[in-house]
Amino acid sequence: MKKGILLLVALVSVFFSSCEKDDICDANTATTPRLVLTFYDINNPSVVKTVTKLKVVGEGMSEGIVFNPTATGDLKYITSGSTISIPLKVDQDLTTYNLIFNYGNANPALIFTDKIQINYTRTNVFVSRACGYKTIFKLQATNPIVHSAVPATTDKWMQYISVEKSNIENENETHVKIFF
């Protein structure tokens, strides 16, 4: 009887000692950061300005970036605000977006599209076994953002673009200021 209890205790000990922590990535763990853009008034550069009815569409995307996941139809792709965060490609050294200002306006002459190409280098950083790797970005020193109007014969709605932080390691700060 004593040997049976000892055997049972030994088996239970072996069973529990073989358990490992679950490999679940904590939701609070920092992952690949997005590029943070903040909009400013071109006439008063220290004043943050709200961009209205902005739709951001990546090159090769059929739809835009989802800003409002609970909305339906086109509304989920449209935002109004002074700051947006957009993802960069982790498998290439450039990402291209069309930023459509005043999207959906009944008057097509009041809708403006600017294209930005973001040029950067990538570094993969190991986070943990559960979370894997994240990618951090560094905007290139020469031509970090190439900006044009679409079509090229029209005026740009974004007047000036300023890179504030070349290293994109988190989403807690503005990386690029856009003046319009």
Query: What is the rounded CA–CA span in Å between residue 81 and residue 74?
Result: 17
Instruction: State the pLDDT at residue 23.
Output: 74
Predicted structure pTM score: 0.85
DSSP one-letter string for 22-84: -----TTS--SPPEEEEEEETTEEEEE--EEEEEEEETT-SS---S-TTS-GGGGGEEEESEE
Q: What is the pLDDT along the chain (180 residues), one digit of tens a residue?
A: 555 555 555 555 555 554 445 578 988 888 999 999 999 999 999 999 999 999 999 999 989 999 999 999 999 999 999 999 999 999 999 999 999 999 999 999 999 999 999 999 999 999 999 999 999 999 999 999 999 999 998 999 999 999 999 999 999 999 999 999
Instruction: State the pLDDT at residue 21.
Output: 58
Which tokens is 47 given?
């004043």
Instruction: State the pLDDT at residue 5.
Output: 58
Q: For the chain, what are the domain ranges?
A: 29-179
Query: What is the rounded CA–CA span in Å between residue 145 and residue 174?
Result: 15
- Residues 83, 75, 57, 171, Cα dihedral to 10°: 30
Instruction: State the pLDDT at residue 27.
Output: 87
Q: What angle do CA 134, 25, 89 make, to 5 degrees?
A: 25
